[in-house]
Structure 1
């Protein structure tokens, strides 16, 4: 199957969240042949089809704006669609007629960022008038779509959760592959910057819980994110945190399979992976959770190493250089033995996290375990006493419900960092210019 066919098959499953397909590829909304004369179908023959009927039949969001004349056209050819099983091909054709999978359906507003393979734009959907994020991936003539893009699409189409970014649409052309996501205002790194690297301690707890909630959902489905960092956690105005950028994510379905150890941004990479392990599971993400938890609490990264060796040095300096007692088997790890790290004694985490309660420090220590199997899981973490003041109802929410749907869950107002005065701004600009010329003195 070519990349184009693969992506179009995926598109048929994206919009919207509630379509379930049976083993023969048909929607299980369709009835069997013995109930063709059901009262519902008789009523449909005798009435005009409404926008609500189409949205329900095609499992579209309620705020979709159907194109002009589409409803009229559907009333001419549509009744037959409601009297037969809806195949993937028929649904795909219907989505295309509405405007899904087409570049002209979306308006580019601003460029948000650019990387080696992709450019991200802020945009607007003509179907809903809502803001969207357009991730435009450039296609090489001979290589086609990057495997990371196909992996991201194939995983996200099956992950429907309030704390995971929603993939709305896919647009495949000869020159590019565009992924259309829901738009969120900023990532966690920007949020930290906006509040002067001092997030309210209550909001730290809410962000951490939402991160764990999204991860627990992924891990139950054997999906490993493998690239957790503040830049990949998006935050809405309401305070909803969502996992994003599943380009390095993998579905781990075979327990004995090994994976690459060139995953996870260095600062958030666990020590077992740094030392070459390729046999890992969901615990690979939990070390990163601990690093992000610390960063939200203190406003600074926990282990900001520039090389693998320096990263391990920082880890051992805080947590103590591992021994056979603290990490069984470490003495036979060739990379560890060769590096000959100094024998550091573990420091108290509480000395480095004065804003954290004792329960918070305890939870942090359970994330930062050398051995992956000893790290607390995302699901177990959500029941930790650190979250007890959030109440019981937050634990029983449906997957697609936000924690902020509960009135007792509220984001606290942050203290934003002061804006520089014009004079301060000029001095900062002057400093930057001087540094670029090799002189670090203020004018």
Structure 2
């Protein structure tokens, strides 16, 4: 009995993107192999070995530079140059992060970390690593393309986001981070520039170059991590023994920045950064930070005894629940600082409705073309709401715990990804959000 090999069969068997265009010669080769297997009475649907899958991926075009077309440079860093590109396999836009290899040193350790971690992180709120291309001179990481980041988004709306959008971005940030932390991975470099946003309003964690997989909370790491403004006080004071709370401090700083339009602690030196923290949150004591009196660096600075200020006076746009969550993220005692998982269950997010907690981690787990959408508000952002006259099919929106029908012009039939989306309507940017 002859079994016809279809593109759909292959994409399912190899866990490939549904919109991939398989080369005709590859399908022809599989058809011949299938016929041979049928003649030998072996199952044509048996699982692929790792070696067979790798060979098949290579036949399709993965792992080859010629599979991608460079469309222009997005930005350049110390080790890498990022290009906007297009995949010939899907015709989708991609970001090509080209890492220069120094023959004496090989691949930078940050690149190795990024590859090893992202290969195993499959989540709606974490940037997807599509492909890895290794040549003699470079290592190219092929990411999904997102053309903005949270910093650009804030700039684009005049540093005055709607509080509804603040809440939705915050929820997505916590979802991605919770997924990482459950897998014992710390990001270690959270900042608005590392939170990428697409034209649907999906927010995704990116730039895992400093990320580390932690085996136990006391493992020693370098304290030279995390951009200064988002660095927690325990790291500023020299600790090398930390766990997931290092990321949660950064989340608090980002929440403040989204709600106010300005960085929370924009220090230019470690001492100035600590001074800004203590002046707002109060100089730590043994009660607020057990063991701080034994920290040599803290004692050497001889900070004044500041009293904690009321956060509501500095973030008047946050409601009571928002202030409570912000406070829980900015506790000095790392054992008491809120986790990502606990933060997701905070009353601050109640207005998004219960269905928000049933979102699938990845695209492959959705079984419907309906998506859970937040209601968009534009009175403070200048961002247009969805134009229901241009919608192609019906989506579900969540607003104040009630689900209402609303059209969206942004989704196609292939977009089955259950997620929170916001229309950003952003322009082209010169700065690169992927580097």
TM bucket (normalised to shorter chain) is 0.7 to 0.9
Between the two structures, name the one with larger relative contact order (CA 8 Å, sep ≥ 6): 2
Q: Secondary structure at the match of 2:91?
A: coil
Please give the TM-score of this superposition, normalised by the length of structure 1.
0.81
In the TM superposition, 1:142-181 aligns within 5 A as: 142-181=104-143
Residue 50 in structure 1 maps to residue 16 in structure 2: no
**What is the deviation of 1:408?**
5.2
Match of 1:342 in 2: 304
Paired positions, count? 373
Residue 412 in structure 1 maps to residue 377 in structure 2: yes
Give the gaps of 5 or more residues in structure 1: 1-44, 418-443
Residue 108 in structure 1 maps to residue 70 in structure 2: yes
In 2, Cα distance between equivalents of 1:285 and 1:266:
13
Residue 325 in structure 1 maps to residue 293 in structure 2: no
1:261 to 200, 217, 223: 223
In 2, Cα distance between equivalents of 1:201 and 1:142:
50
Distance change >3 Å, CA 55–CA 65, structure 1 → 2? same
In the TM superposition, 1:13-412 aligns within 5 A as: 46-79=2-35, 80=37, 82=44, 84-400=46-362, 406-407=371-372, 409-412=374-377
Give the gaps of 5 or more residues in structure 2: 38-42, 384-435
In 2, Cα distance between equivalents of 1:82 and 1:57:
11
**What is the deviation of 1:290?**
0.3
Bigger radius of gyration: 1
- Answer yes or no: is the 8 Å Cα contact 1:152–1:249 preserved in 2: yes
Please give the TM-score of this superposition, normalised by the length of structure 2.
0.83
- Answer yes or no: is the 8 Å Cα contact 2:149–2:195 preserved in 1: yes
Deviations 1:272-309 (A, max 9, x none): 11101111111110000000000000000000001111
In 2, Cα distance between equivalents of 1:314 and 1:405:
46
In 2, Cα distance between equivalents of 1:321 and 1:392:
39
**What is the deviation of 1:340?**
0.5
Of 194-203 and 53-62, deviating more is 53-62
**What is the deviation of 1:255?**
3.8
**What is the deviation of 1:69?**
2.2
Of 289-298 and 64-73, deviating more is 64-73
Q: Secondary structure at the match of 1:372?
A: coil
In 2, Cα distance between equivalents of 1:358 and 1:156:
36
In 1, Cα distance between equivalents of 2:47 and 2:373:
44
- Answer yes or no: is the 8 Å Cα contact 1:394–1:406 preserved in 2: no
In 1, Cα distance between equivalents of 2:377 and 2:52:
48
Distance change >3 Å, CA 382–CA 366, structure 1 → 2? same
In 1, Cα distance between equivalents of 2:216 and 2:285:
31
In 2, Cα distance between equivalents of 1:170 and 1:411:
37
In 2, Cα distance between equivalents of 1:271 and 1:205:
25
**What is the deviation of 1:214?**
0.6
In 2, Cα distance between equivalents of 1:104 and 1:334:
56
In 2, Cα distance between equivalents of 1:237 and 1:349:
32
Q: If each structure's helix is expressed as a fraction of its own residues, which one has the higher value?
A: 1
Distance change >3 Å, CA 273–CA 405, structure 1 → 2? farther
- Answer yes or no: is the 8 Å Cα contact 2:218–2:243 preserved in 1: no
**What is the deviation of 1:406?**
4.2
Q: Secondary structure at the match of 2:229?
A: helix
**What is the deviation of 1:76?**
1.4
In 1, Cα distance between equivalents of 2:295 and 2:239:
10
In 2, Cα distance between equivalents of 1:92 and 1:407:
36
